[in-house]
Structure 1
């Protein structure tokens, strides 16, 4: 089960992950099979956890980690939606963190 931010619980749905990844990868040179591999990797990692429930936050962090390895622009796009950046300063801090890691 997935625990949503508001506390609701619902079954895990890999299509939601696929949709988020597709949006993040839109107009990027990332083949569909690479995107599908990210979805498979995330799904596998979620199901390999020993917990019976996983939070949307945990899933989002896994997706970001996987996307970061594939394409930094897709990573930033996903992070901007997932982390709900409130302003450009917060967004710029994330970009700077990404640049510092290089």
Structure 2
């Protein structure tokens, strides 16, 4: 590590601390040049790399992942805060996988589940592009899966029901 003040190439780590989210390390350093001896802080973070189908790699950027989701959410009641939370959830999920290199396909898979919870219409739009739906039957199959999942949740009491609620008037 070069000193940012004098560019000397010898520095010493005085203290290292893991950030609260566990995704980076903060290090206090001191320049070893007798003429400088200034202190500075560095932050180290694991760089996630996306392996594209072409074989090329590029750094993972949350903004790029959210940009694709933003298109699917166009005209839907989803705001920027929702998208930011989704982007954070996707990045956290990818980091928890523990691998510094992720296939582009895995990024798409990581987006699907939180997007489904956020907005089903946006989910269908995104899934149709991501999974390459070719026909209305593909949409119908995915909608049937969503309905079946919703039915299971309502039967187990684990979520909002997707059906119509009916109220019965007290008798007697």
Q: TM-score, normalised by structure 2?
A: 0.55
Q: Does 1:47 align with 2:95?
A: yes
Q: Does 1:80 align with 2:128?
A: yes
- Considering fraction of residues, name the structure with more helix: 1
Q: Does 1:34 align with 2:82?
A: yes
Task: Give me the CA root mean square deviation.
Answer: 1.3
- Considering fraction of residues, name the structure with more strand: 2
C-alpha displacement of 1:8: 2.4
> Which contiguous aligned blocks of 4+ residues in structure 1 show a shift greater than 3 angstroms?
none
User: Once the two structures are superposed, what CA deviation does each residue of 1:33-84 show, in whole Å capped at 9, x if it has no partner?
Assistant: 1111101111122122211211111111111100111111111111011111
Structure scoring higher RCO (CA < 8 A, sep ≥ 6) equals 1
Q: Does 1:15 align with 2:63?
A: yes
Which residues of structure 1 form unaligned runs of 5+? none
The separation in 2 between residues aligned to 1:53 and 1:36, in whole angstroms, is 22
The separation in 1 between residues aligned to 2:53 and 2:95, in whole angstroms, is 19
Count of aligned pairs: 102
The separation in 2 between residues aligned to 1:74 and 1:95, in whole angstroms, is 12
The separation in 2 between residues aligned to 1:51 and 1:40, in whole angstroms, is 17
Secondary structure in 2 matching 1:101: helix
Secondary structure in 2 matching 1:5: coil
